[in-house]
Structure formats: structure tokens, C-alpha cells
Amino acid sequence: MIDGIWWLVIFLAVVAGLWLLAHRRGAKKDSKNRNKKTSGKKIPVNDALQKTAVLLKKDFKNYRVTRKGNHLLILKQGKKLAMITIDKKLAVGQRRLGDVPIINYHRPPSRAQLSANLQEAE
């Protein structure tokens, strides 16, 4: 006959096995969305920053655009020209981070707005 301590060991081994099985099954479902995540947050494919980046690449060919999390970094000839953010919680307008202006919008800007703000930033 099996003593009580062995029943406890068998019970804990079964629980640990079931937990490992459940943990692995949960990881497989989550791994499909890993390429869409950046620093733990999901970024929509067609969000306002992406629309702004496409507009900049299409209409302003002499600028290089790099997306960094929640902002766009605008470069011209290797020099940081401006940062563009889209945040409804902040006031629309410009502020500075060192010598680089940070331009905030509430929604994707028009070509005219971008042109005026980038000329001002230069």
C-alpha cells in the first residue's frame, strides 16, 4: 500500500505537469502577436503616426523619417530636425527638447501644416 506522503508527491507532480501543459498552450497563442508588439504595447498598423510617416515619405523626399515608439524622428542630412508626436492629452504646438523641436498634433496633419512646421524647425 502507498503511504500518505507518496500520495502527496504524486498529487503535486500531477498538478505541476498540468500547470506546465497549460503554460505552454498559453504561450503558443500569444506568440502570434509578438511581431505586432513594441515594448509591450500593441501598435495599430494604420494609426495616425503611420499615416503621418507615409505622408512625409511621399511628399517630403529630402527628409528621412524614423518611427520611435510614440513619435516620429525627422532627419535631414543626418541631423535631427524635429520630432512629431500625436497626443490628444498634450496641447497642439511646439516645445523643445534640447535643440530639437517637438511638434505635437491631435490628429494626422495636412501637407500644408507639415510644410509650415518643418520650415519653421529648420
100, part of any domain: yes
81, part of any domain: yes
- Report the chain's mean pLDDT, rounded to a whole number: 79
Q: Regarding predicted confidence, which is higher, 46 or 6?
A: 6
**Is the same domain home to 24 and 69?**
no
CA gap 14, 23 in Å, rounded:
14
Q: Regarding predicted confidence, which is higher, 44 or 77?
A: 77
**Is the same domain home to 53 and 28?**
no
Comparing C-alpha atoms, which of 69, 33, 37 is closest to residue 53?
Answer: 69
pLDDT of residue 30: 47
Range of the domain at 97: 48-121
